[in-house]
């Protein structure tokens, strides 16, 4: 069964022109995709549909076998908790410590404080921030902030991990380390979609591409991707 399925999905904002049309694809569990395309092609819009921040104007989207159109509103948080998101601008809470930022994902899921302490400490150590758990994000570097954002996205062991331009604001070396981290998560069974315009990253890590041009999606298998 496909983890995510888009059938004839189209999107437009209010009465504006369609930014996405006839989007059809399936993401199998454990897959790794790059979402590529030029600026203005609709990557951000497709990401919004993928992290359920936006409803499609038409078409059908299903997550984990559930059709979004017929899913009750009160069930939506449960679906969202199975999707980890690394936002382009991180969206960290600057008044909270690194620990509390990562703990958010567990707190909204109703985990006990004992579990939260154990899991967050472990994960922050794994991403190399064990000594900065009490620091607020605004005193940390861009790379460190990004690792907090990733930790927050994966702490819940999501089935689907979405990252929007994760290498956009960091230097190449950190970008490569970051991609290695995503590969590691992928090896642990997480389905990963990374939206990027970084051709170098796409070349270095040969995974299938979802290429958007003028609001239309083309699925490029691994063998035919540019890296191949």
Partner 1 sequence: MAKKALKKYCYDISLSEGAGAHLVSWVTGLMVFFVTLALLVNFSLATITKTWVTGLSGALTVEIKPPLSPKEGGEPSSQSQKKFENSVHRVLTLLKDNAAVSEARLMTDAEIRSLIQPWMGPGVTVDAVYLPALIDIKLTPNADVARLQSDLKAVEPDAGIDSHTDTLDDVKALVKTASLFVLLLTSVIVVLAVVAISGIVRSKLLIHESEVETLHLIGASDEYIARQFRMHTLRGTLKGALIGLVCTLAILLVIGSLTHTLDDTILPHLKWAPLQWLLVVVSPIAVGSLIAHLTAQATVLKELSKLT
Nearest CB to partner 1, comparing residues 28 and 89: 89
Q: Total residues contacting partner 1 (rule CB under 8 A)?
A: 28
Q: Is 91 in the site for partner 1 (CB under 8 A)?
A: yes
Instruction: Out of 8, 58, 93, 171, point to the residue binding partner 1 (CB under 8 A).
Output: 93
Report how far residue 227's alpha carbon sits from residue 65's, in angstroms, rounded to the nearest whole number: 32
Nearest CB to partner 1, comparing residues 106 and 220: 106
- Residue numbers 109-138 binding partner 1 by CB under 8 A: 109, 113
Q: Is 152 in the site for partner 1 (CB under 8 A)?
A: yes
Instruction: Out of 81, 157, 186, 197, point to the residue binding partner 1 (CB under 8 A).
Output: 81
Nearest CB to partner 1, comparing residues 194 and 201: 194
Stretch that binds partner 1, among 33-41, 94-102, 184-192, 194-202 (CB under 8 A): 94-102
Q: Is 108 in the site for partner 1 (CB under 8 A)?
A: yes
């Amino acid at each position: 069964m496909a983890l995510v399925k888009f059938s004839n999905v189209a999107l437009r904002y209010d009465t504006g022109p369609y930014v996405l049309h006839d989007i059809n694809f399936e993401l199998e569990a454990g897959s790794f995709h790059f979402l590529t395309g030029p600026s203005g092609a609709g990557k951000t819009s497709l990401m919004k549909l993928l992290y359920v921040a936006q409803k499609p104007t038409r078409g059908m989207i299903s997550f984990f076998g559930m059709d979004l159109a017929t899913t009750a509103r009160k069930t939506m948080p449960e679906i969202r908790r199975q999707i980890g998101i690394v936002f382009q601008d991180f969206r960290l809470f600057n008044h909270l410590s690194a620990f509390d930022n990562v703990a958010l994902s567990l707190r909204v899921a109703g985990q006990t404080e004992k579990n939260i302490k154990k899991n967050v400490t472990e994960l922050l150590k794994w991403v190399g921030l064990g000594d900065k758990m009490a620091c607020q994000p605004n005193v940390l570097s861009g790379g460190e902030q990004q690792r907090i954002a990733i930790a927050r996205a994966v702490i819940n062991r999501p089935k689907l991990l979405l990252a929007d331009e994760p290498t956009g604001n960091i230097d190449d070396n950190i970008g490569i380390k970051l991609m290695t981290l995503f590969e590691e998560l992928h090896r642990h069974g997480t389905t990963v979609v990374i939206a990027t315009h970084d051709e170098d990253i796409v070349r270095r890590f040969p995974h299938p591409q979802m290429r958007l041009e003028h609001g239309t999606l083309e699925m490029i298998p691994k063998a035919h991707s540019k890296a191949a």
